[in-house]
Amino acid sequence: MKKTLPVIGMACSACSANVENKLRSIAGINEASVNLVGRTATIDFDPMQVSLEEIKQQISDIGYDMVIDDDRSVQEIEAREWKLLKRKTIMAWVFSAMVMCLSMGWVNAGGKDAANQLSLVIALACIILCGKEFYVAAFKQLRHGITSMDTLVTLSTAITFIFSAFNTFYGETAWGARGIEWHTYFDAVTMIIAFVLTGRLLEEKAKDSTATSLRQLMGMSPKTARVVTKKQPAEGDEAGEMVPISTIEKGDLLEVRAGEKIPVDGEVTWASSFMTDDAAYIDESMITGEPTPAVKRVGDKVLAGTIPSQGRLRLRARQVGEETALAQIIAIVQQAQGSKAPVQRLVDRAASVFVPVVAIAALLTFVLWLLIAGFDSLPQAIISAVAVLVVACPCAMGLATPTALMVSMGKAAEQQILIKDATALEQLRKVDALVTDKTGTLTIPNKNVVDFTRADDLALDERETLKPNAREAVETLKKMGVEVHLLSGDKEQAVSYWAQQAGIEHYQSGVMPADKEALVKQLQSEGKTVAMMGDGINDTQALALADVSIAIGTGTDVAMDVAQVTLMGDDLQTVPAAIDLSRRTVKMIWQNLFWAFIYNIVCLPLAAGVLHLFGVNFQITPMWAAALMALSSLSVVLNSLRLKYVALRAV
């Protein structure tokens, strides 16, 4: 059984790695993938070996929460968490301002000792009221031998607080008597907590924007349905009871009126509109991208989430709940956003060891200060080590890939492009050869041709028309460096004609399924990255072999099951758009990773105080280290959000 479940409490890539590793260690879970930005875990598990309650308990043991029951609204939980985080952030800044006023002498507290003691109380209150979760999570993780950003925040604030508390009561005795200048750093304690909380607050707000497309899809799902008993209503009949969508079963008879959302996938049993007594007009643009309403008559299929623009209809429920086309689209987008690109797997492995490496770097900084500058540099050594702990939090690195993927998958869904996994999205950018089927993929059979036995007597353009923008799509693909091949089992005359109409130079007629597979193999042997596009069972062999498989949403279920990418509409401009989106996304990922690594490469030595060795009296303090860490994470998320607003080629 496969499920995608929300996970509460993840803040960095180390957090998502901890949850993922824990899930994979549980007996009965076959595979697990955790999405930091989407705050979800996709698990494939055997319910006979392990229950969701047991999984939730094990995740709770390491400091996180998993939502497994339907009566707990994720939106409500996140809204409550957001309000609490906002309240703590404001409180932390109030505490920071109070300590800053005392440490800078802006407020007369009765001398240095009194100011330090009062600052100690305020800093302790800040830790308890605003930073408690860091300590609780770090303790839970430590019991299981794992680390995260919480570990770094806990270590840095605890060390700074203890050192400052010692100086408050014994500073003059320990340091002053030896001629060593000493200070307390309670302002750093409160500022670290305030900046980290601020960073999380801004990140959560920005990350929330990356899920906009998915929420829009989910918002298309109606919550109620009107159940009726009569297959065909009498004149003026308004009977019908509104019930929750969860109570609808297969076979139920439902009525939908103009402007209402169709609640389930079903078959029309009766339809009427202002224009005709036997049909209704349905807006299916959210599925197909077509702006013109579709005409639906008795026996036609209608889909959940689509809306009658004129008239009303009655339908027999055929697919309900998770079986509807809309629910499957939402599931595909959720799983795709939770999947990992190959580059992300490398980042995850780095993140799993990053925190221990940072801790070692901080310890090394402390030791080197003492070795180089002597015992008199102990205060400086401690503060430098703390700054290293804070500045090197791996948040930006962990957010680099998933934020870009989340935005990209959502944008693709808005363009009626369903991408099943991140690997396909990353692979699309390499495509330099496209093999396409003809009928149903490149062309549409003329619905007005009823007598198919006489089809050969008609002109070619009267039989199969090109799909919208097919020629434009081919021209765009050529400009992008993609070689297009048309394969069809049709006759030479027909295939040649439509290849010419579409502007395709490479084509073959009279081919069998094995011939399509052979061409894919041949192109791959020439070093090309091949995408196969088809809509029928005869295309599945080639689809399965291709580097990227693309199915048409109006095709067979078998083709769509095999394919990694599904085009929901008939506009073939979505093909170059998908390739362009892939190229932009991967470029964005590498941009994010570059700046995340550059940030650490530059800031780590500055936090450690390396410039002092060259006579430059400059160093990143713990307070500013926290600010820079928050800023780096936010910059990565905001950079990824730019994908939402770029104009794709051919769209």
Q: pLDDT tens digits, residue range 580-639?
A: 999 999 899 888 888 888 887 888 899 999 998 888 888 888 878 878 877 887 888 888
Range scoring the smallest mean pLDDT among 142-146, 290-294, 320-324, 520-524: 290-294
Predicted pLDDT at 507? 92
Strands (E), 479-610: 483-487, 506-508, 530-534, 548-552, 565-567
Q: Which residue has the higher pLDDT, 346 or 533?
A: 533
Q: What mean pLDDT comes out for the span 335-358?
A: 67
Predicted pLDDT at 481? 94
Does residue 176 surpass a pLDDT of 80?
A: no
Q: What mean pLDDT comes out for the span 96-102?
A: 90
Predicted pLDDT at 338? 58
Does residue 290 surpass a pLDDT of 70?
A: no
Under 8 Å between Cβ of 42 and 3 = yes
Does residue 210 surpass a pLDDT of 70?
A: no
CA dist 129 and 87 (Å) reads: 10
Does residue 117 surpass a pLDDT of 90?
A: yes
Does residue 650 surpass a pLDDT of 80?
A: no
Report the half-sphere exposure of 236 (CA within 13 A, side-chain side): 0
Counting residues of the chain whose pLDDT is more than 70, the rounded percentage is 84
Neighbours of 540 (CB within 10 A): 22
Query: Residue length, the chain?
Result: 651
Predicted pLDDT at 453? 41
CA dist 248 and 568 (Å) reads: 26
pLDDT category, 377, cuts 50, 70, 90?
confident
Distances (CA, A) of 442 to 469, 537, 573: 10, 16, 11
pLDDT category, 449, cuts 50, 70, 90?
very low
Q: What residues does 552 pair with on adjacent strands? A: 567
Strand pairing report for 548-552 and 530-534: parallel
CA dist 419 and 309 (Å) reads: 29
Under 8 Å between Cβ of 315 and 302 = yes
pLDDT category, 140, cuts 50, 70, 90?
confident
Mean pLDDT of all residues in the chain?
A: 82
Distances (CA, A) of 531 to 446, 487, 521, 536, 618: 27, 13, 11, 16, 54
DSSP 262: P
Predicted pLDDT at 337? 56
Q: pLDDT tens digits, residue range 242-253?
A: 888 888 889 999
Q: Which residues are catalytic?
A: 437
Angle at 443 between CA 442 and CA 449, to 5 degrees: 165
Residue 66: its H or E element: strand 65-66
CA dist 643 and 627 (Å) reads: 26
Q: What mean pLDDT comes out for the span 276-296?
A: 75
Does residue 116 surpass a pLDDT of 80?
A: yes
Counting residues of the chain whose pLDDT is more than 90, the rounded percentage is 24
Q: What mean pLDDT comes out for the span 285-303?
A: 77
Under 8 Å between Cβ of 539 and 559 = yes
Under 8 Å between Cβ of 487 and 515 = yes
Strands (E), 403-493: 417-419, 433-436, 483-487
Does residue 651 surpass a pLDDT of 50?
A: yes
CA dist 340 and 589 (Å) reads: 12
Residue type, 325: A
Q: What mean pLDDT comes out for the span 129-158?
A: 86
Q: What mean pLDDT comes out for the span 493-497?
A: 90
Residue type, 19: V
Predicted pLDDT at 452? 38
Q: What mean pLDDT comes out for the span 57-66?
A: 90
Predicted pLDDT at 450? 40
Q: Is the whole-model pTM more than 0.85?
A: no
Cβ neighbours for 74, distance < 8 A, ≥ 6 positions apart: 6, 67
Residue 647: its H or E element: none
